Amino acid sequence: MTLTDAGGLEPSSPDALAEVLAGVKCVMFDFDGPLCPLFEDRPSDGLARTFHGILADAGLESAELSGLADPYRMLRKLPYGFPGRRFDADDLLRSVASVFAEHLTLEEMERVSRVEPTEGAVDFVRALHDRGMTLAIATNNSPEPVQTYLKSHGIERMFAGRIYGRGQDPRRMKPHPDTVRRALAAVAPYGITRQECVLLGDTPGDLAAARGAGVRFIGYCRSQAKAVRLTTAGTRYWVASLDRLSEAFQEK
């Protein structure tokens, strides 16, 4: 696959998907994108403006954060955006991070109350569960709205509590592999190794987290722009629909 013509990118073939899925016993999902288009139709720049206002009220100025319009990126970069201030020992930075996270969780809760599932996602989860696959979620979203969403669509029990999301330390958000490693620790008692796990994600950060944890990765790209970003980052396998992936699991 080449990047000389963005419009010419093609999803992975059935044979290629069969290759990456061989021996897989556990499927890990990023939440926003593969399961739920949380921010796809409604921009998040308003929340980013709120974050910039919080920084201004706290008297915090950061050249690294000043031009950002993605609230998740702002939260993740907050601990590193102020030279001379150490996040672990800085009560103000940690307080601002907590306020950022609270705003994000409230926004996520509001959005999951009305957004529809990613096309084919609910059927895909049920099909994997029926095949005996162990399922988990590794996300930068807060676990609470994820759990609420899964319950509202009748698939919460299929993950058996294996929902690993944003915690108190923004430095451990993806691309850090923390959430994937926590999912690995949860499935290890079932005899599942990292080599038998695959993460389905839609960002270069998901790819980096998978690599950092030593698990396989399949990209989910609903647009050529995402396909370009993921393949440029080094993604080898990707799909444009969950139906293609569901078919690949049936054939493996």
Task: Summarize pLDDT for 129-181 with one digit per residue, the tens.
Answer: 999 999 999 999 999 999 999 999 999 999 999 999 999 999 999 999 999 99
pLDDT surpassing 60 at residue 1: no
- Asked, for residue 227, whether it belongs to a domain, the answer is yes
**Residue 177 Rama label (left phi>0; alpha psi -120 to 50; beta):** alpha
Same domain, 35 and 127: yes
Among 112, 127, 162, the domain boundary falls at 112
pTM of the prediction?
Answer: 0.94
Strands, sheet with 216-220, edge to edge from the N-terminal-most edge strand: 163-164, 134-138, 26-29, 197-201, 216-220, 238-239
Residue 1 lies in a domain: no
Q: Are residues 27 and 87 in the same domain?
A: no
Asked whether the predicted pLDDT for residue 194 surpasses 70, the reply is: yes
Say if residue 213 is in the same domain as residue 126. yes
Together in a domain, 52 and 140: no
Q: What is the pLDDT of residue 45?
A: 84
Per-residue pLDDT at 250: 85
120 vs 7, higher pLDDT: 120
Query: Residue 120: which region, alpha, beta or left (left: phi > 0; alpha: psi -120 to 50)?
Result: left
Quote the number of domains for the chain: 2
Domain hosting 95: range is 45-112
Based on the fold, state whether residues 223 and 246 are members of the same structural domain: yes
CA distances from 186 to 20, 49, 182, 189, 204 (A): 22, 37, 6, 7, 24
Tokens matching residue 156? 């919460």
Q: Looking at the domain assignment, is residue 174 inside a domain?
A: yes
Asked, for residue 162, whether it belongs to a domain, the answer is yes
